[in-house]
Chain A
Amino acid sequence: MKILSLIPIIAIGGLLLWAAQDFPKWGDVESPASKSPVSSHFIGKTGVDTEVPNMVTAVLADYRGFDTMFETVVVFIAGMAVLAILKGSTRGNSRRKDHEVEAEPDLIVTNTVRLIVPVIQIFAFYVLAHGHVSPGGGFQGGVLMGASFILIALSWDLEKAVSRFSIERCMIVAALGIVIYGGIGLLSMMLGGEFLDYAELERVLPVSREMARYHAMLGVEIGVGFTVTAIMFALYANLSSEGSLKQGL
């Protein structure tokens, strides 16, 4: 049976490889993507408009600000949905309780985690804050931050991690992230521009219009980071313990 299933996989893989020959070459000037006026516009204008060296961040957080905002909202809704489904469920728990084992936390693993968790958190902040100059940003930093809490939950047990970052606080932080994002948008609207038109923030910040965009993007990324951190951890905590928040994986 295994060998039979291998045949279509190899066939499809070969087909895809064959089709990949038609792709334009890497960095080809004549390819459709490079020819279109949109990309040349972004490549030419990003630095002038926003003073952000990393074009991807500028496009994500500024030109496409609405999209990123609702992506964050989708992440938040996913977390809420999992919580809503699993919070009251007891069907899994009653059976599961009989099988809970007394596994004492491993000495070596916990000590290593003690040493590396602060480093991971600093690294997460670094990724978050340097999204403008190097690859990174709110989503990546948030995932790293959430991973540090998940690592605590894995090496001790879920109770220890939840006592450091409880689910209620998780929800508050997640909501706070969206409030930060939407707040920056609303603030720029109140100052006379459009929703998420960061350039208007120059009136409250002591910088030029372009740098106002730069700093507002950082604020927006921080909001995304908050939401992603909290939802990552809440999803792990709920899914691994089937809503009971005990013992974990």
Chain B
Amino acid sequence: MNDFKLYAEANDWGLLVPEISLAFGALLLLCREALRKQGRESGGGLAFLLQGGLLVYFVARYLFFDPRPDSAGESAFNGMIQQSFPADVMRCFFLGCAFLTSLFANPGLRERRLPQAEFHALVSLAAASMMLLVQSNHFLMLFVSLETVAVCFYVLVSYHRGSPYSLEAGLKYLVFGALSSAILLFGIALLYGTAASWSGGTAPSDPLSFTMLEQFVAANSDSLAVRAGTAFVLAGLAFKLGAAPFQAWVPDVYQGAPTAVTAYLAVASKSAGFVVLFNLVTGPLFGLREFLIPLLSLVAIITILFGNLGALTQTNVKRLMGFSGVAHAGYLLVGIIAAIGMHPDVPEKSVFWAIVFYLLSYSLASYGVFGVMGVLAPTEDADQPRSLYSSLAQKQPFLAFTLAVGLGSLAGIPPLAGFIGKLLLFVVAFQAELYGLLAVMVMGVVIAIYYYFAWIRETVFPPLPSLDSSDKEPQVLWSPQFPSLLLACILGLLTLTTILLGFYQSSLGQSF
């Protein structure tokens, strides 16, 4: 039993303080909800406080106490967890996403009289498990935290349970989520089984651990079982990313989910998927790079084309964001391919920085856009035609400006953060000599400008009175409200950061 004792001693819970505090915060929220008096609705104050506090904790930790830009990372929990600077950045990122999601969702929940405490608890738990997901260094840990994220999202997506749209979206997400987790698990089983029963050399003692699998895969890259397992694992992950041909659920689920959850799904869940994919392809599956590069390139090309072409004809802006999210996943996949196809003398870190920066710019812009959408959303959240935004600039210049900057950044208009993000990806793709993918990316970006600008134009320019034959005055069905002060400040901050990051980010990347 001595070995088990060693195992037990390797569980260093101190490393996971943020995750543990999030989980306990969620428990606290649930308990308080259970004990509260009838009729008194508890808000999300505690959740905001917790998530915001942790964010500050992280930032402070790196600013003042423990700047470790170049650490190789440390392994803990018997190889379940691998901490490193990039993973910490992503933990921060998820905390930020959770904070924004809770904040953006609150007004809608209050208006619909839906329980708030549970929502914030679920958002916190999802954030905690995503934070574990990006640190996991073991397939079992990966599977469990991935499923926890997924289960949280099943509930969050169908949270507007009064709306058949939301429930339908939840159902679709669940069915495909379960399908993809079965596929992922089969892949894991294949990799595990071949590694564990490998007779060629010394079988790894822990065949689920990334570190051990890396050696095994590198030595057995021509085994069909390894390839089939990898294909299954990639298919399972591609679902999370919304990469083609596993993208079909994306527009529906994005449309049906509550807007704040859509943002969370689009940004945090997808980012988690990308970081996991990055960890996998540069870690355990690195030995298969010859096999992976053409495969992922194909997936990336289809994804970019599909996302952009699909978005082109959408008039419902939530579906449009869904399709465009698929396209962004395609661009990010190019980054992933660059990471494995890179020249050996180009550091992997610069690719990771390109991906992280892209995620960052994407999340800032997306939260800006989704935030505005949330403010303007009609009673039925899923039903948001583009015409809802017509001449918003005249009614609510602030919201219109936020929206325009967000969309501009997503489209990649030069001075904004989104442009730099795309540029960084272009640069890494160029350095990795992925010229074909580069061409597809450029094509995608060109198409994207069209649909983003159609929306911006709808927002900024008033409709023409008599271009069409019908001379009807556009009916003003609703007058948008100004968001609460806190929300407005956050939106302003997002916009400002999007603009500033376009000008100043070169030194941020040095840490990677």
Chain B associates with chain A: no
